[in-house]
Amino acid sequence: MTTPLVIKIGGRVLTDPTALSQLFSTVQKLAALRPLVLVHGGGDQVQALLQRLGDVSAKTDGQRVTPAAQMPIVAGVLAGDLNSQLCAIAQQHGLASVGLTLQAGSTVRCEVDTTRGAVGIPQPHSSKLLELLLDANYLPILSSIGLSADGQRLNINADLAAGAVAQVLHADLILLTDVAGILDRDGLLIDSIDATQVLQLISDGIVRDGMVVKLNAALQAAQHSRRSIAVAGWQDANALTRLAKGEAAGTRIRF
């Protein structure tokens, strides 16, 4: 099998039906080039529903705190409503999508992050299910819902989830963002970056909050799988196509 490509989808694109349809037009083209797996978050949708229900949703260090009592809502939004929407859009674009969670086929196993409630720390485990689906030309779409060893449903940061899935498959990884990639102090795109430079950007406060999590997920995946990892903007279809072909675009993470 050709080296798979894992793409993490999140941010504003999930709230914009027109942009999402345009993105899946690009995904359709990428699927003709190589096997694809999509991993998605949906924090904005979760937060919006919690607010309508009179509940609160907090973050620490760019990651969401999820009390166990909120998991039925989180799982319903991510694994139910949003995942089924993405599968439907994919099928409208001629893609044979299959909606999954991280625990399907024991693809990813999770430890509980006791500092954030019902939040999991994902670890790659089994590639068997995803390989079966990819060999049969299906498009797996995974929500970032995991499972602890004792059966507790867990909310997983989607960037970390995508990194774990990429490690499982020894795949290339693209983390899509609302910006063109990693930006320097002057707001200019950084073409490539290594672990030392990442730490410096974080130390200098240039990279903050959710982007710190994204970069750490990318570095971990790059160091484990020794494959191509990139952070790129979802708005640029040409950039995604170049990345799928192994060409330069966005910010490339060097291991």
pLDDT at residue 81 tops 90? yes
pLDDT at residue 84 tops 70? yes
Closest residue by Cα to residue 102 from 88, 116, 83, 87: 83
Determine the pLDDT at residue 211. Answer: 78
Domain segments of the chain: what residues? 7-253
pLDDT tens digits along 118-143? 999 999 999 999 999 999 999 999 99
Determine the pLDDT at residue 72. Answer: 96
- 8's tokens: 């993490």
Determine the pLDDT at residue 94. Answer: 97
Residue 155, annotated ligand binder? yes
Determine the pLDDT at residue 1. Answer: 67
Residue 216, annotated ligand binder? no
Query: CA 204, CA 185: separation in Å to the nearest integer?
Result: 9
Mean pLDDT score of the chain, rounded to an integer? Answer: 89
Query: CA 221, CA 16: separation in Å to the nearest integer?
Result: 29
Determine the pLDDT at residue 216. Answer: 76
Higher pLDDT, 180 or 46: 46
Determine the pLDDT at residue 253. Answer: 82
Rg (C-alpha) for the chain, rounded Å, is: 17
Residue 153, annotated ligand binder? no
Do the beta carbons of residue 146 and residue 101 sit within 8 Å?
A: yes
Higher pLDDT, 181 or 158: 158
In terms of CATH architecture, what is 7-253?
A: 3-Layer(aba) Sandwich (3.40)
pLDDT tens digits along 99-124? 999 999 999 999 999 889 999 999 99
Which amino acids are annotated catalytic?
A: 8, 11, 43, 159, 214
Query: CA 128, CA 27: separation in Å to the nearest integer?
Result: 23
Confidence band for 202, pLDDT divided at 50, 70 and 90:
confident
pLDDT at residue 221 tops 80? no
Residue 137, annotated ligand binder? no
Give the pTM.
Answer: 0.92
pLDDT at residue 225 tops 70? no
